[in-house]
Amino acid sequence: MATKAKTRTERDSMGTMTVPADVLYGASTQRAVLNFPISGRAVGHEIIHAFALLKGAAAESNHELGKLTQKRRRLIAKACTEIATALEGDDHARTAMMRNFPVDVFQTGSGTSSNMNTNEVVSNMACLAAGAKIGAQDPVHPNDHVNMGQSSNDTFPTAMQVAACVQIKQSLLPALKKLARTLHTKARQFDKYVKIGRTHLQDATPIRLGQEFSGYAAQIDHAVERAKRASEAMASNLPIGGTAVGTGINTHPRFGRLVASRLSRATGVRFKEAANHFEAQATRDCIVEAHGLLRTISISLSKIASDIRLMGSGPRASWFEIILPELQPGSSIMPGKVNPVLVESVMQVTAQVEGNDVTIGVGAMGGVGSMMELNVSMPCMAERLLESIRLLANASDLFADNCVAGLKANRKRIDETVEQSLMLGTALVPVIGYNKSAEIAHHAYETGQTIREYCLAHGILDAKALDDVLDVSGMTRPH
């Protein structure tokens, strides 16, 4: 016979609610749990971590402004540090702490439920630390003290921006820098291999394999700068201090600036209070801008992954100019088949980021998310934003280690295709003109000869002259 779960009674402005006895949230959170059983996905730990940093910074700032006692400041700061530390810890610590933050992503569009969830957890932790009963709301009240000088309307957008900036700094930028280094290394290693270039997937003039990879490395160099600009777009425009509608009602004029300064010290990211709180709260334009830059990074990854997959296709009936690391069997029916699994994983990530960009764009549009003085699609937008950062970071890291670092050039195949290419005839143009060169390429194709073989057979140029003109290494630079 099942035993009845233990509960306790907590109170909010609407009355009492029955809450599980072993969690730290209160009545407002329980209402949200009952109201939004939609996706089964709680607001991510990155947002809660940012909320903990934010509430701690708010308590310190309110104390500095003479609005919060030293005792309450200390209790709130201690609770926020414990939350943040647990969420920075191992999976067990994070999972245990996140039991206290169960509100679904698809909640009220302002994120009010998550803000109140954090207020209640911090209040209860503070009360327990002070020797009071859980739910006592004294000496630390969730609204009066934890939420002092704040509104859900400025805290949730601030938390989503802080969370995204921290994740870019801690995970995305290191992964992109690693990938850039790995691609630069390959560009140097491959620079001695001259292969046939391709435009429109048709043979073109020769190019060094290293030159191709230098282009990929440059894409990721640009991606690093784009990630920095994405962070800057969000870090320079924190809504905190605007409270309900941007006017700053019920807060001190210096509050937003002080909180931003403390968040900067806590994270190593340079945060600034928004210059215009009405823009910062009524829109999510900074999120659209930031994710647009992430989308560009994603498109760069897609291009690189697609090219590597093409160059590695084969091994006998296709290009096979580079040899990809063999990671796992590729088929349940074809023995010996090995597929470019890591490349395909990266390309699926880029597809998801494209979808996330659409969701964020729609969430920020007038009449959908941005309505008058407040955007009401923020929890969903925050989840998509953080997912894109996480996916791009993880994919870039694995792509560098498990694919790019292990790539090898297939010199035999590269040399064969270069000599066979009819586009070597381009080098004849300065010597014999475009029309004659085109005629030679056409006849060589019909006879199955190479450009060199056709020219020798028909006395177009002698062997020494052809060696000079058809020097494929020389064709890879201006001359």
Do 232 and 224 meet the contact criterion of CB atoms below 8 Å apart?
A: no
Q: Please list the active-site residues.
A: 200, 331
Question: Quick count: other Cβ atoms within 10 Å of Cβ 331?
Answer: 10
| 263 contact partners, CB below 8 Å, separation of at least 6 | 53, 54, 57, 162, 238, 269, 271
Look up residue 381 and give its DSSP letter. Answer: H
Instruction: For residues 287 and 273, give the distance between their C-alpha atoms in angstroms, rounded to a whole number.
Output: 16
Tokens of 145: 């003290």
Instruction: For residues 244 and 373, give the distance between their C-alpha atoms in angstroms, rounded to a whole number.
Output: 9
Question: Quick count: other Cβ atoms within 10 Å of Cβ 342?
Answer: 23
Do 279 and 273 meet the contact criterion of CB atoms below 8 Å apart?
A: no
CA-wise closest residue to 393 among 346, 351, 459, 335: 346
| 63 contact partners, CB below 8 Å, separation of at least 6 | 69, 70, 72, 73
In angstroms, how far is the first alpha carbon of the chain from the final one? 87
Do 359 and 380 meet the contact criterion of CB atoms below 8 Å apart?
A: yes
Tokens of 92: 């067990």
Do 43 and 101 meet the contact criterion of CB atoms below 8 Å apart?
A: yes
H helix intervals, 239-340: 255-267, 277-282, 285-311
Do 374 and 368 meet the contact criterion of CB atoms below 8 Å apart?
A: no
Axis crossing angle, helix 152-167 with helix 285-311, rounded to the nearest 10: 30
